[in-house]
Chain A
Amino acid sequence: MIRGKVVGQVWATRKARGLDGQKLLLVAAQDAQGAPNGRLIVAVDVLDAHSGEDVTVAFGSGARNVLRPGPENRDLLCDAAVAAIVEGAG
């Protein structure tokens, strides 16, 4: 997983069927000090995160487990998902 800050949202009409109805957030990845490292990630959000909030993003099967706990979730189209809204880090 990585830590990042929600900086925006993405909308698309023409998309793969597996993305229908999903909220897609733009997340700026952070370095060890919590500063943006320049990398941008688009993650599926089911936790209702908002711009300005710090989140963790899970990838791969970890991301699918956020949407539907496995193992029967390999039909899902999701490679990145908001896994937690961060309240503090030290």
Chain B
Amino acid sequence: MNQRHISYGIEPEALAVYQALVQEHGSPLLVISRHKLVGQYRALTRQLPGVSLYYAIKALPNPEVIRILAEQGCHFDVASAGEIELLQPQLISGRKTIHTHPIKKDRDIRAALRGGSTTFVVDNIDELKKLRAYRHRVGVLLRVSFRSASAAVDLSRKFGCSPDQVEDIVLQSRELGVHIRGLSFHVGSQSLDPQAHVDAIRLCGGLINQINQGSVNPMNLLDIGGGFPVDYACENPDMDAYFTAIRAALYELPEDIDLIAEPGRFLVAPAVTGISTITGKARRGDYQWYYLDDGIYGSYSGQLFDHVQYPLQITSNDLAREPSILSGPTCDSIDIIAEDILLPEMREGDLVVGHMMGAYTAATATRFNSLDCAKIILQD
């Protein structure tokens, strides 16, 4: 988990904007910046030229985000029938999707096919057998797992076959008459070290080369997953160096391999700002408690599920600070956003701003205590 970054004081112009938004829409809010979202998409297309981007809808399943990314030419990574349904009102063709959940019911497969989503991911023979009835309609990717010691979220424990199983599964798939089009992997999320990605790309490239030797039906696709890090700790990491290493590894692959990636967090995290309001305060022991109208059961759910500490910004830059606790609105004692932090005295009605709150925030928010989730609005 990253170190919490707190900034004190808000530029008057920015504060006026936040206040006007709360005035108009109420609090709490999650504000999507179209400008930043498009900026992230374009940055990633620049960093990964030749890689088709499939936005992982689960990070923020929001219609506006989907619309804006679709306008930019982005494709979509879906993992459920519900996610496919989010694309349909916007008339986004199923041809622009890939279904990435490795474990599916027959009903899920049929719903995906009906939505026009024909590329599926599997990681074992039993799942491959489920696709046998649809083998002339579908394209199949085999998910390979690579354990990453440095990633904040290890995605290789739950899904993926080991690299040494790949050849055997491919052989069995041929017997079943189901063609495996390529490999996919997820090395985990939020690691600033590109080595896991680089190793996985090289290993998959080697596996594809090996399997394609003498194969009449070669693999032609590598899905490098997502997990590209964003800067929750406000440390300005060298993203150019990170992506340069990944590009170099991709460059070593045979030219005829199509590349896709499934960014979620990278696209949406920096594009969303959370605005909440102090609804009450109390002095308890050595601590000053502040109660906000958003918390762990709401937009800050990612602190629990996603192991992220969002950068916070408060209105006052007063240097007189005391140990404080920022609490969420529910009755549960775990609903604490930040404790043991130094804060200047704040007043009821003051705003607390959370930055980088696009990914796995609203997506995992609950309505515990029958509290409404933060309203999501689009700006600029």
B is a partner of A: no
B contact set with A: CB distance below 8 Å: none
A contact set with B: CB distance below 8 Å: none
